[in-house]
Amino acid sequence: MNLDEVIETFELMDEWEDRYRYIIDLGRSLPEFDPADQTEENRVHGCSSKVWLVYHKEGDNIIFKGDSDAHIVRGLVAIILMIFSNKTAAEIEETDATAILTELGLSQHLSPMRTNGLFSMVERIKAIGRSFN
């Protein structure tokens, strides 16, 4: 599954309830997250749910893994990872996540707390990217 497929699937769905279910399904597709990585150091603050993010480099690309204790947020983590994972630090910095999330309609259909959490994840990823420049 990639971001273009998510956007295409969203366009086919008329109801936001269907999109929410789809987001939850995306979260179920995330790779297993090591419970040992569910530490305070890996926690993304600013999210109402618990969200953890880890990364490593493969060549020039940064690979992210994430998890959450809430189903819908786990799906949002999956979308964020589709946007940013396996990119170079420069590509991460250049990526306009706000435009992508607006295209998906997430900014308009999530609670303010979830939206803040989403952008906390984006900022954390961008900070990680900047650390490699």
Query: pLDDT for 5-15, tens place per residue?
Result: 999 999 999 99
11 annotated active-site: no
- The CATH number of residue 18's host domain is 3.90.1010.10
pTM for the predicted model, two decimal places: 0.94
pLDDT in tens, 89-124: 999 999 999 999 989 988 788 888 888 889 999 999
Distance CA 30, CA 19 (A): 17
> pLDDT value at position 130?
96
Residue 54 CB: number of other CB atoms within 10 A? 17
Instruction: Show contacts of 16-22: CB within 8 Å, 24+ apart.
Output: 16/105, 16/109, 19/105, 19/109, 20/72, 22/75
How many folded domains does the chain comprise? 1
Question: Which residues span the domain enclosing 25?
Answer: 3-131
Q: Which of 44, 47, 73, 83 is catalytic?
A: 47
Buried b (16+ CB within 10 A) or exposed e, 12-45: eeeeeeebbebbbebbeebeebeeeeeeeebebe
- Measured in degrees and rounded to the nearest 5, phi and psi for residue 33 equal -105, 130
What is the rounded distance in angstroms from the CA atom of residue 69 to the CA atom of residue 27?
11
CA distance 32 to 17: 26
pLDDT digits (tens, 9 = 90+) for 38-86: 999 999 998 789 999 999 999 999 999 999 999 999 999 999 999 999 9
